[in-house]
A and B are shown apart, each in its own frame.
Chain A
Amino acid sequence: MRIHEYQAKALLSEFNIPIPKGGVASTPLEAGKIATELGNKVVIKAQVYSGSRGKAGGVKIANNPQQAEKLAMQLIGSRLVTHQTTSEGTPVHRVLVEEAINIKREFYLSIVVDSTSRMPVIMASEAGGIDIEEIASVSPTKIIKVHIDTATGFQDYHGRKLGYGINLDREQIRQAIHIMANLYRLFMEKDCSLVEINPLVVTYNGEFLALDAKINFDDNALYRHSDINQLFDKEQEHPLEVEAKELDISNYIKMNGDIGCMVNGAGLAMAVMDLINQVGGRPANFLDIGTVNDYKRVVNAFKIFIDDPNVKAIMVNIFGGISRGDIIARGIVEAHKQMNIHLPLVIRLAGTNANDGKHILEKSKIDFIEANDLYEAARKATAAAKGETR
Chain B
Amino acid sequence: MSILIDERTRLLVQGMTGTEGTFHTQRAIEYGSKVVAGVTPGKGGMLALDVPIFNTVEGAVKETGANTSMIFIPAACAADAIIEAIDAELPLVICITEGIPVKDMLIVHEHLKDRPTRLIGPNCAGVISPGKCRAGLMAGEIHLPGKVGVVSRSGTLTYEVVTQLSNLGIGQSTCVGIGGDLLPGSTFVDILRLFQKDKGTEAVVLIGEIGGTMEQDAAKFIKEKMTKPVIAFVAGSTAPQGKRMGHAGAIVSGSSGRAQGKIAALAGSGAVIAKNIAEIGLTVKNVIT
Chain A interface residues toward B at CB < 8 A: 84, 113, 115-116, 118-120, 132-133, 136-137, 149-151, 188, 191, 193, 218-221, 223-224, 251, 253, 255, 263-275, 277-278, 283, 286, 288, 319-322, 350-352, 373-375, 378
Contact = CB atoms under 8 A, between A and B. Distances in A.
A115 B238 contact: no
Interface of B: 23, 75-76, 99-107, 109-110, 125, 137-139, 142, 152-160, 163, 180, 182-183, 207, 209-210, 212-214, 217, 233, 235-250, 254-255, 259, 275-278
Q: Which of A255, A270, A272, A352 has the most CB of B within 10 A?
A: A270
Given A267-B156, A271-B276, A218 B103 contact: yes
Nearest to A265: B156
A219 B244 contact: yes
Contact of B106 (A136, A150, A265, A278): A150
Contact of B247 (A193, A266, A319): A266
Given A115-B249, A253-B243, A264 B101 contact: no
Given A137-B255, A374-B160, A267 B153 contact: yes
A351 B139 contact: yes
Of B101, B137, B250, most buried by chain A (CB within 10 Å of CB) is: B101
- Minimum-distance CB pairs A-B, first 9: A267-B154, A266-B246, A265-B156, A221-B101, A267-B157, A271-B277, A133-B254, A268-B156, A270-B235
B113 to A, nearest CB: 9
A106 to B, nearest CB: 20
A221 B233 CA distance: 31
A319 B160 contact: yes
B102 A267 contact: no
27 contacts: A113-B102, A115-B183, A115-B213, A116-B217, A118-B105, A118-B106, A120-B106, A132-B254, A133-B254, A191-B101, A219-B244, A220-B99, A220-B102, A223-B76, A224-B76, A251-B245, A251-B246, A267-B158, A267-B207, A271-B233, A319-B159, A321-B125, A321-B155, A351-B142, A352-B139, A374-B160, A374-B277
Contacts of B240: 253, 255
A355 to B, nearest CB: 13
A132 B177 CA distance: 33
A119 B207 CA distance: 25
